[in-house]
């Protein structure tokens, strides 16, 4: 009995320490932790009992091994809690099991941790270190007594109980234990789920949802039956095919929608000018505050994240084979398809995914001639200039351009301004004032909108004077994350969370503008992202395939709005509509592709796909003297970029970029240049392109 009491005491004490530390780290403060205990006692007790069983199960080892494993496991739990706390601050949603496959993207975002309170980080780090020190102290002090067979009875029971608990949480379709403890899991609102049930068990429970679900009744016969019910769209474009330009503007949102806020001037004058005179409305997107590629996936493929595992990122987890996406559909009708994005080619695996979606070219950051940063990211004028350049250099064929901007990417600092800052914002209700943090964040975002609006005006003005018909779709991928815990939105009384449908709509709808230079037709649209591509095909008079035809049919019947599934009753979509959609999507993404094979849909990638438009080419190299008096090589050619690394006689040398056609390369001391070559690398030192070797050097 003495040994059993000791085991119970150790397991209880360590579990309490682990329980308190994990949840304080996740919630960011002791007061938030205590508030959770008061409002959600069942979830708190369930987590504590889970940890009690876990640590009791570890006692099956000797005491020293127990403490070693406890240190390791709880360090992992604390890191998980801290990562979830951090992700919520940066993106508005917690850490999910699927996030663990995005190590490169997460590592790249570490630079923005500066947006998190230093005090919070210090407290969390001190807490983790203190906990580890306490366990190390116990590890040193406790001796490994000889164990009788009776010693293992209680730990063995703990092992069985913990195994049952873990299986119920991670792998059971319906958790008996959750039902017994009256624990409610909100699968669609993971932030609320974690806040209610605790970070650890919510994370474990989401393991169950990592794999796609096979729709009931999925078969070749079922798919064939659905396709036969879809009336095919009839192409009506007998004239030239129009250019189609889609601009997915980073966190584009109209701050004047905050009706309780007064601005010193309109941050989007041009957008507002053409908005009412063009097809316009709102686009329902799958993410808030971040997750650009989720919206990108839906627009390009016509598929929805609603049928995918919660928190999954299709670009990372699922797109490893060709899909009949919008660029593929258009390329098969004579279009040249290019994706333009002023960021690294590897981010979200775009360099391979965009090939599978059917693009001919991907102009990533490394292939922009001389991209200029706007604080954190690259300016929108880089995108505008590249779109115009593409249209001018490829005017003999119809173009499909999908541009993903970056200038308005968060974070939006609470304590600094950009050099072009001009916006001021005030609450218009007498006696109310923004907090200094909220005021600066909102004005920072509004200043971004002023610059973004100028680039939209520049592009549309150019297109108004071009001969080829052109359609432009312009929208935001998600709302901007304006402060921690919806700070700006709350202070402006716009929304507090997404607990009601009206607030959900405000959080997940961005402005949508569809403009063209050849007719005055206009519509008011309220559609979800998967319906945008099929709509554009229909407006351009172009042929799609059975999935786009199905979505067009739904949209024309007033069923183009697909909200998050917990709000599906607010949509006109029926259960039958949703079931057919899910069957078709599963067959294309994960199934046997019965429909694609029978309908002979061409989903093959472009044979000429590449990053950039061409390799750099050096046409001449001349030894000359630079303004500093140093001997340099004057290189002339084309497709030079600031990412180009010059090698002289096999040695990497410094260079000065002048233009896409002119670059100066420094000659190593004492060297007689006999060979020069140019290579383009990304920031992970991967070789992306290289030029010809030039051996004729002019002296």
Establish if 235 belongs to a structural domain. no
pLDDT at residue 200 tops 90:
no
Domain CATH number, residue 290: 3.40.720.10
Mean pLDDT of 307-315: 86
Give the integer Cα–Cα distance in Å for 12 and 597.
Answer: 59
Q: Residue 111: what pLDDT? A: 44
Q: Regarding predicted confidence, which is higher, 115 or 378?
A: 378
Provide φ and ψ at 619, rounded to 5°.
Answer: -95, -30
pLDDT band at 71; cut points 50, 70, 90: confident
Q: Are residues 505 and 419 in the same domain?
A: yes
Q: Give the range with max mean pLDDT: 32-41, 120-129, 194-203, 674-683.
A: 674-683
Q: By percentage, how much of the chain surpasses pLDDT 70?
A: 88
Which string of b and e fits 292-304 if b means at least 16 CB within 10 Å?
bbbbbbbbbbbbb
Q: Are residues 489 and 555 in the same domain?
A: yes
Give the integer Cα–Cα distance in Å for 103 and 113.
Answer: 16
**Exposed, middle or buried by CB within 10 Å (0-12, 13-18, 19+), for 658?**
middle
Mean pLDDT of 385-405: 95
pLDDT at residue 414 tops 60:
yes
Q: Regarding predicted confidence, which is higher, 133 or 617?
A: 617
Is residue 307 within 8 A of residue 552, CB to CB? The reply is no
Q: Which residues have a Cβ under 8 Å from the Cβ of 482 and sit 6 or more positions away?
A: 412, 438, 441, 442, 445, 488, 489
Q: Residue 109: what pLDDT? A: 47
DSSP percent split of the chain into helix, strand, coil, nearest 5: 50, 15, 35
Establish if 569 belongs to a structural domain. yes
pLDDT at residue 78 tops 80:
yes
Q: Residue 42: what pLDDT? A: 81
Q: Are residues 580 and 644 in the same domain?
A: no
Q: Regarding predicted confidence, which is higher, 193 or 175?
A: 193
Roughly how many angstroms between the first and final C-alpha of the chain, as a whole number?
A: 94
In the listed set 610, 626, 654, which residue is the last one of a domain according to the structure?
Answer: 610
Distances (CA, A) of 438 to 204, 533, 594: 35, 36, 52
Crossing angle of the two packed helices 532-539 and 292-301, in degrees rounded to 10: 40
Per residue in 595-620, pLDDT tens? Answer: 999 999 989 999 999 999 999 999 99
**Exposed, middle or buried by CB within 10 Å (0-12, 13-18, 19+), for 288?**
buried
Give the integer Cα–Cα distance in Å for 144 and 645.
Answer: 61
Establish if 234 belongs to a structural domain. no
Task: Write the Ramachandran bin of 483: left for phi over 0, alpha for psi from -120 to 50, otherwise beta.
Answer: left
Mean pLDDT of 18-28: 90
pLDDT at residue 213 tops 60:
yes
Number of Cα atoms under 13 Å in the Cβ half of residue 430: 0
pLDDT at residue 59 tops 60:
yes
Q: Which residues have a Cβ under 8 Å from the Cβ of 398 and sit 6 or more positions away?
A: 240, 241, 242, 243, 244, 330, 334, 335, 336, 468
pLDDT band at 499; cut points 50, 70, 90: confident
What global pTM score does this model have? Answer: 0.85
Distances (CA, A) of 589 to 21, 331, 350, 581, 603: 41, 20, 17, 12, 12
Mean pLDDT of 492-507: 90
Q: Are residues 125 and 183 in the same domain?
A: yes
pLDDT at residue 268 tops 90:
yes
Largest Cα span, the chain: 94
Mean pLDDT of 451-465: 97
pLDDT at residue 646 tops 90:
yes
Establish if 227 belongs to a structural domain. no
What mean pLDDT is reported for the chain? 88
pLDDT at residue 9 tops 50:
yes
Q: Residue 101: what pLDDT? A: 62
Establish if 628 belongs to a structural domain. yes
Radius of gyration of the chain (CA): 29
Q: Are residues 636 and 541 in the same domain?
A: no
Q: Residue 150: what pLDDT? A: 58
List, in sequence order, every residue forming a beta bridge with 625; answer none if it has no partner: 631
pLDDT at residue 581 tops 60:
yes
Per residue in 653-682, pLDDT tens? Answer: 999 999 999 999 999 888 888 999 999 999
Q: Regarding predicted confidence, which is higher, 24 or 171?
A: 24
Q: Residue 442: what pLDDT? A: 97
Q: Residue 112: what pLDDT? A: 42
How many domains, the chain?
Answer: 3
Establish if 232 belongs to a structural domain. no
Q: Are residues 71 and 110 in the same domain?
A: yes
In the listed set 587, 610, 633, which residue is the last one of a domain according to the structure?
Answer: 610
**Range of weakest confidence among 148-162, 212-226, 470-484:** 148-162
Q: Are residues 48 and 118 in the same domain?
A: yes
Q: Are residues 335 and 359 in the same domain?
A: yes
Q: Are residues 599 and 618 in the same domain?
A: no
Q: Are residues 429 and 462 in the same domain?
A: yes
Establish if 225 belongs to a structural domain. no
Q: Give the range with max mean pLDDT: 171-180, 503-512, 517-526, 661-670.
A: 503-512
Q: Residue 429: what pLDDT? A: 78
Is residue 325 within 8 A of residue 602, CB to CB? The reply is no
Domain CATH number, residue 688: 2.60.40.10
Q: Residue 196: what pLDDT? A: 84
Which string of b and e fits 33-43 if b means at least 16 CB within 10 Å?
beebeeebeeb
Provide φ and ψ at 403, rounded to 5°.
Answer: -110, 130
| DSSP at 109 | G
Nearest to 202 by CA among 163, 160, 170, 167: 170
Q: Regarding predicted confidence, which is higher, 230 or 83?
A: 230
Establish if 484 belongs to a structural domain. yes
pLDDT at residue 502 tops 90:
yes
Task: Write the Ramachandran bin of 281: left for phi over 0, alpha for psi from -120 to 50, otherwise beta.
Answer: left
pLDDT at residue 322 tops 70:
yes
pLDDT at residue 475 tops 60:
yes
Give the integer Cα–Cα distance in Å for 216 and 218.
Answer: 6
Q: Are residues 345 and 488 in the same domain?
A: yes
In the listed set 168, 189, 210, which residue is the last one of a domain according to the structure?
Answer: 210
Nearest to 327 by CA among 359, 364, 295, 349: 359
Is residue 512 within 8 A of residue 560, CB to CB? The reply is no
Q: Are residues 52 and 144 in the same domain?
A: yes
pLDDT at residue 452 tops 80:
yes
Q: Regarding predicted confidence, which is higher, 61 or 546?
A: 546
Give the integer Cα–Cα distance in Å for 251 and 490.
Answer: 18
| DSSP at 229 | T
Nearest to 298 by CA among 317, 310, 309, 284: 284
Domain interval for residue 453: 242-610
CA angle 493, 496, 497 (to 5 degrees): 150
Let me know how many helices (H) and strands (E) the chain has, helices first.
Answer: 24, 22
């Amino acid at each position: 009995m003495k040994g059993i009491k000791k085991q119970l005491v150790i397991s209880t004490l360590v579990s309490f320490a682990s329980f308190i530390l994990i949840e304080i780290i996740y919630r960011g403060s002791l007061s938030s932790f205590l508030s959770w205990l008061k409002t959600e006692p069942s979830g708190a007790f369930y987590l504590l009992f889970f940890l009690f069983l876990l640590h009791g199960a570890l006692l099956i080892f000797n005491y020293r091994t127990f403490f070693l494993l406890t240190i390791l496991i709880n360090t992992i739990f604390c890191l998980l809690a801290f990562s979830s706390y951090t992700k919520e601050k940066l993106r508005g949603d917690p850490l999910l099991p699927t996030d663990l496959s995005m190590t490169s993207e997460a590592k790249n975002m570490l630079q923005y941790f500066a947006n998190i309170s230093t005090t919070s980080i210090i407290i969390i780090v001190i807490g983790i270190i203190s906990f580890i020190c306490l366990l190390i102290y116990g590890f040193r002090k406790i001796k490994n007594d000889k164990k009788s067979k009776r010693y293992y009875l209680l730990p063995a029971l703990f092992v069985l109980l913990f195994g049952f608990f873990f299986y119920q949480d991670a792998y059971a379709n319906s958790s008996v234990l959750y039902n017994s403890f009256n624990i409610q899991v909100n699968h669609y609102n993971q932030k609320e789920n974690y806040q209610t049930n605790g970070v650890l068990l919510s994370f474990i429970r989401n393991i169950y949802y990592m794999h796609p679900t096979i729709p009931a009744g999925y078969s070749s016969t079922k798919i064939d039956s659905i396709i036969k019910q879809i009336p095919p769209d009839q192409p009506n474009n007998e004239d030239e095919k129009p250019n189609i330009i889609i601009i997915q503007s980073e966190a584009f949102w109209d701050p004047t929608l905050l009706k309780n806020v007064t601005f010193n001037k309109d941050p989007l004058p041009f957008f507002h000018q053409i908005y009412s005179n063009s097809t316009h409305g709102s686009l329902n997107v799958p993410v808030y505050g971040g997750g650009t590629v989720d919206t990108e996936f839906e627009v390009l493929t016509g598929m929805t994240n609603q049928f995918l595992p919660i928190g999954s990122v299709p670009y990372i987890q699922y797109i490893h084979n060709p899909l009949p996406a919008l660029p593929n559909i258009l390329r098969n009708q004579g279009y040249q398809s290019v994706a333009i994005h002023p960021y690294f080619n590897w981010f979200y695996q775009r360099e391979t995914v965009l090939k599978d979606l059917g693009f001919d070219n991907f102009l990533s950051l490394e292939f922009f001639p001389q991209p200029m940063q706007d604080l954190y990211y690259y300016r929108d004028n880089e995108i505008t200039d590249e779109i115009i350049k593409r249209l001018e250099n490829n005017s003999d064929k119809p173009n499909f351009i999908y541009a993903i901007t970056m200038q308005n990417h968060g974070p939006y600092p609470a304590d600094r301004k950009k050099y072009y800052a001009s916006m001021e914002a005030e609450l218009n209700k007498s006696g109310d004032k923004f907090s200094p943090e909220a005021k600066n964040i909102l004005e920072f975002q509004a200043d971004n909108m002023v610059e973004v609006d100028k680039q939209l005006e520049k592009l549309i003005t150019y297109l108004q004077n071009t001969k080829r018909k052109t359609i432009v779709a312009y929208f935001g991928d998600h709302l901007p994350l304006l402060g921690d815990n919806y700070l700006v939105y709350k202070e402006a009384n716009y929304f507090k969370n997404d607990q009601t449908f009206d607030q959900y709509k405000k959080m997940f709808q961005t402005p949508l503008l569809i403009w063209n230079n050849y007719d005055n037709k206009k519509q008011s649209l309220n559609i979800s992202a998967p319906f945008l591509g099929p709509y554009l095909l229909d407006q351009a008079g172009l042929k799609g395939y059975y999935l786009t035809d199905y979505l067009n049919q739904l949209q024309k019947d007033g069923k183009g709005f697909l909200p998050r599934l917990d709000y599906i009753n607010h949509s006109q979509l029926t259960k039958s509509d949703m079931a057919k959609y899910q069957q078709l999507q599963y067959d294309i993404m994960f199934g046997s592709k019965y429909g694609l094979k029978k309908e002979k849909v061409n989903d093959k990638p472009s044979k000429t796909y590449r990053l950039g438009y061409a390799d750099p080419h050096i046409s001449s190299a001349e030894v000359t003297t630079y303004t500093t008096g140093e001997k340099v090589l004057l290189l002339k050619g084309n497709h030079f970029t600031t990412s180009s690394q010059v090698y002289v006689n096999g040695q990497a040398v410094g260079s000065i970029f002048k233009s896409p056609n002119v670059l100066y390369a420094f000659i190593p001391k004492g060297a007689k240049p006999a060979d020069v070559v140019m290579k383009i690398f990304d920031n992970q030192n991967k070789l992306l392109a290289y030029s010809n070797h030039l051996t004729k050097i002019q002296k």
